[in-house]
């Protein structure tokens, strides 16, 4: 199959890592396709990477779309709670805002929609209503004009969860252009984060395929392709590996020490995250007093712009070395901080040159298990926990954690007092989650983590035929 034009659609920046910085584009071009990035973000792929792109300059959705989308999410979670008799679904909801008259009126409107349409038929009504609203916008006409001008043979959407993509994909479908969506993250399906409806879906694994069929009855099995995710492909690219000497010199690490990575979380997931870093620092200091030579690499969550870790880092600067992810702010909002290709190499080497990772419920467990490195999950309350601060314990009740083959797929630290012992046991080779972690990794990521990009292109070729 030759000379097909593929629009790789970025409604937001989350797909950059998977579909601009990996070998995805290169593989498509090897198959004879013309790859054009249909870009709804402020990040310029042409300026930054030299890629062909068509910029979407009209970003304006229908003013009611956000409200209907919020109602849709709540309704889907309500239906799931009733259907599966499971109390976890309400924990995926964000609280309503009554801050000011405008927010209060919006909340009342959303609650009215939820009250009137909390059923499977109601979900379909809300989805059709969202589509009708987006078809009425100037953005829909704008995107349709771009498609008519550039005539792509297929539109591949890099995430299923962005409302900004609805009008563009509707325009493509109305012109008879096949559309494919990639389900972006391991936890997205049960959380009612499938915003768009496309002709086909690429998912990570058999597990994710089963979830899509379970939660979205309007999607048929023939529409779903199990491909894997490009997210972990860079971990198998040994050309990214630096020597220990070079990596330590570049980041001012002590060559006499072994390092533990603390992977920071966003403020919503782990609002007291800085105190877990402090606990690790205390454990490391105690172990160093016993003859170990240890340090901590702190890698923050890329979109965390708070200063909540500063005191802990300053107090423990003899132990903690900050190695920030290579992400760059392109705009002024939190969602306009974009990854740089250099971060693939950085993360690879942080994994390769750390003894383990510790964090709160992050998917970095998979990044590290790809390098045969253990992971400690913090799962105890901090004394600073008080009313209106979210307890991290609810994270481990989420559905995506039920995919664990056993509780040994990660090392769970359930008491602050046991952290030092767990770290010591891992360092001494007496404790590891890697064996069970690899089973979990295969369940979630799929059996061929190095072939995801190739698998996606195989399915695109099949659709085009």
Instruction: Tell me how far apart the alpha carbons of residues 179 and 193 are, in angstroms, rounded to a whole number.
Output: 18
Long-range CB contacts for residues 390-396, cutoff 8 Å, separation at least 24:
390/268, 390/271, 392/269, 392/270, 392/272, 392/360, 392/361, 394/91, 395/269, 395/270, 395/360, 395/361, 396/361
Q: Which of 199, 195, 176, 170 is nearest to 185 (CA)?
A: 195
Give the CA angle between residues 396, 161, 402 to the nearest 5°: 20
Do 108 and 211 lie in one domain? The reply is: no
Question: Are residue 17 and residue 96 in the same domain, yes or no?
Answer: no
Give the separation between CA 328 and CA 345, rounded to whole angstroms. Answer: 16
Query: Is 125 in the same domain as 142?
Result: no
Residue 57's beta-bridge partner residues?
none
Helices vs. strands in the chain: H and E counts, helices first: 17, 15
Domain count, the chain: 3
Segments in the chain below pLDDT 70: 1-2, 331-335
Task: Give the predicted TM-score (pTM) of the model.
Answer: 0.96
Identify the domain boundary among 133, 157, 183.
Answer: 133
pLDDT of residue 83: 96
262 and 113 in one domain? no
**Domain end marker among 133, 159, 188:** 133
Domain, as residue range, for 127: 65-133
∠ CA 202-224-203 to the nearest 5 degrees?
A: 30
Please indicate, yes or no, whether residues 181 and 209 belong to a single structural domain of this protein: yes
Query: Which residues are within 8 A (CB) of 415 and not within 5 positions of it... i.e. 6 or more apart?
Result: 380
Task: Please give the Cα distance from 128 to 133 (Å, whole number).
Answer: 9
Both 271 and 416 in a single domain?
Answer: yes
Give the end of a domain, one of 115, 133, 151: 133
Angle of helix 120-135 relative to helix 101-117, nearest 10 degrees, comes to 130
Length of the chain: 465
Are residues 326 and 376 part of one domain?
yes
Q: What is the pLDDT of residue 385?
A: 86
Q: Is 217 in the same domain as 163?
A: yes
Q: 211 with 323, same domain?
A: no
> Looking at residue 297, what is its pLDDT?
98
Residues 272 and 165 in one domain: no
Q: In the numeric block, which tokens belong to residue 389?
A: 């601060």
Q: Contact at 8 Å (CB) between 6 and 35? A: yes
Cβ–Cβ < 8 Å for 353, 31: no
Burial of 388 (0-12, 13-18, 19+ CB in 10 A): exposed
Distance CA 370, CA 322 (A): 23
**Bridge partner list, 182:** 202
- Whether 71 and 97 map to the same domain: the answer is yes
Residues 45 and 75 in one domain: no
Radius of gyration of the chain (CA): 23
Listed in sequence order, the DSSP H helices in 203-243 are: 206-215
Torsion of CA 462, 134, 127, 86, to 10 degrees: 90
């Amino acid at each position: 199959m030759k000379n097909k034009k593929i629009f790789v659609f970025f409604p937001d920046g989350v797909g950059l890592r998977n579909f601009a910085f990996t070998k995805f584009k290169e593989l498509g071009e090897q198959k004879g396709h013309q790859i054009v990035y249909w870009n709804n973000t402020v990040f310029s792929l042409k300026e930054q990477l030299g890629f062909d792109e068509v910029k979407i300059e009209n970003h304006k959705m229908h003013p009611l779309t956000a409200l209907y989308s919020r109602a849709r999410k709540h309704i889907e979670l309500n239906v799931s709670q009733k259907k599966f008799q499971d109390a976890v679904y309400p924990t995926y909801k964000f609280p309503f805002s009554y801050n000011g008259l405008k927010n209060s009126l919006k909340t009342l409107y959303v609650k009215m929609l939820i009250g009137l349409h909390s059923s499977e038929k109601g979900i379909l009504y809300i989805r059709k209503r969202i589509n009708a609203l987006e078809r009425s916008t100037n953005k829909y006409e704008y995107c349709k004009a771009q498609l008519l001008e550039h005539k792509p043979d297929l539109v591949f959407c890099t995430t299923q969860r962005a409302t900004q993509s609805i009008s563009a994909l509707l325009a493509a479908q109305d012109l008879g252009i096949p559309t494919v969506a990639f389900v972006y993250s391991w936890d997205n399906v049960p959380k009612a984060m499938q915003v768009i409806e496309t002709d086909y879906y690429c998912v990570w694994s058999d597990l994710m395929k089963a979830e899509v069929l379970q939660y979205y009855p309007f999607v048929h099995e023939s529409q779903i392709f199990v491909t894997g995710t490009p997210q972990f492909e860079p971990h198998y690219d040994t050309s990214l590996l630096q020597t220990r000497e070079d990596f330590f010199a570049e980041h001012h690490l002590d060559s006499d020490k072994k390092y533990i990575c603390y992977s920071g979380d966003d403020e919503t997931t782990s609002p007291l995250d800085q105190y877990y870093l402090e606990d690790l620092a205390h454990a490391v200091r105690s172990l160093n007093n016993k003859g170990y030579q240890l340090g901590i690499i702190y890698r923050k969550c890329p979109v965390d712009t708070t200063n909540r870790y500063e005191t802990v880092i300053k107090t423990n600067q003899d132990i903690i070395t900050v190695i920030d992810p290579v992400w760059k702010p392109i705009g002024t909002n939190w969602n306009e901080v974009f990854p740089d290709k250099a971060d693939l190499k950085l993360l690879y080497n942080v994994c390769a040159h750390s003894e383990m990772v510790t964090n709160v419920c992050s998917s970095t467990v998979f990044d590290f298990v790809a390098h045969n490195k253990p992971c400690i999950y913090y799962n105890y309350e901090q004394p600073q926990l008080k009313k209106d601060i979210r307890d991290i314990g609810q994270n481990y009740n989420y559905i995506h954690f039920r995919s664990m083959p056993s509780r040994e797929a990660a090392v769970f630290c359930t008491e602050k007092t046991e952290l030092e012992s767990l770290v010591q046991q891992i360092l001494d080779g007496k404790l590891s989650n890697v064996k069970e972690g690899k089973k979990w990794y295969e369940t979630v990521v799929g059996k061929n983590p190095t072939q995801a990009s190739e698998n996606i292109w195989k399915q695109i070729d099949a659709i085009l035929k």
